[in-house]
Chains A and B, each alone.
Chain A
């Protein structure tokens, strides 16, 4: 069975600080996908990134960066120079790449990030 753990329930930072959101996953599959979704106060979940298990390169997109380490089963998300608009709940998710299966996406419990002005 697959599992996603986001141990940080809530994080509060002051604007312009860097912040890292942790995500640890468990899976028996060798082929899988990892995701991050953002849920702003408006409620709608927004896709941020997808990473497959064969690509361990870190990725940077503007102020966002992701560190994927298979050795520690982690897929951490860093926001550099945080802004108030980054305040949201962030979800990490794991999907096993099984043929014909659309049901294998497992979400972590989410991390509520609050960026204070």
Chain B
């Protein structure tokens, strides 16, 4: 029962390099999310996918792209990394979409720590 799996757990990049964070969930959840966590700022939503085939911007989408590859997988891509993107990234998923989706309980992955030099 893996839940939400993120890879890699740690990554160091140089400014301008690109990389993709992978996320997979095995709970048959409809919705998936990418958050970033910075000291003193809680978690901020980057992008989300309410259901397979759809993606939408969150609070801080600039500099990122996402792909909902299938119902299980949701990847986050940094095309040209910047030091401001140094952060801990969390993928999450939830069961419901639509209706009272505000009631969704999120299941989180273990996080990916990214450092951009």
Contact surface of A with B, Cβ cutoff 8 Å: 4, 9, 31-33, 35, 37, 42-47, 50, 52, 91, 95-105, 107-110
Contact = CB atoms under 8 A, between A and B. Distances in A.
Contacts of B53: none
Interface of B: 31, 33, 40-45, 48, 50, 56, 58, 88, 90, 92, 94, 97-111
A9 B102 contact: no
Given A44-B110, A47-B105, A101-B102, 15 more contacts: A37-B106, A44-B111, A45-B92, A45-B108, A91-B42, A95-B102, A95-B103, A98-B101, A99-B99, A102-B94, A102-B104, A103-B56, A104-B102, A107-B42, A109-B41
A102 B103 contact: no
A97 B102 contact: yes
Contacts of A35: 105
What does DSSP make chain A's interface, helix, strand, loop or mixed?
loop
B108 A105 contact: no
B102 A107 contact: no
Contacts of A110: 42
Contacts of B103: 33, 50, 52, 95, 97
A9 B45 CA distance: 21
B82 to A, nearest CB: 23
Given A45-B90, A95-B102, A102 B97 contact: yes
A98 B50 CA distance: 13
B40 to A, nearest CB: 5
18 contacts: A31-B102, A37-B108, A43-B111, A45-B43, A46-B108, A47-B106, A47-B107, A50-B103, A50-B105, A100-B99, A100-B101, A102-B31, A102-B33, A102-B101, A102-B104, A107-B43, A108-B42, A109-B40
A55 to B, nearest CB: 12
B47 to A, nearest CB: 9
Contacts of A96: 102
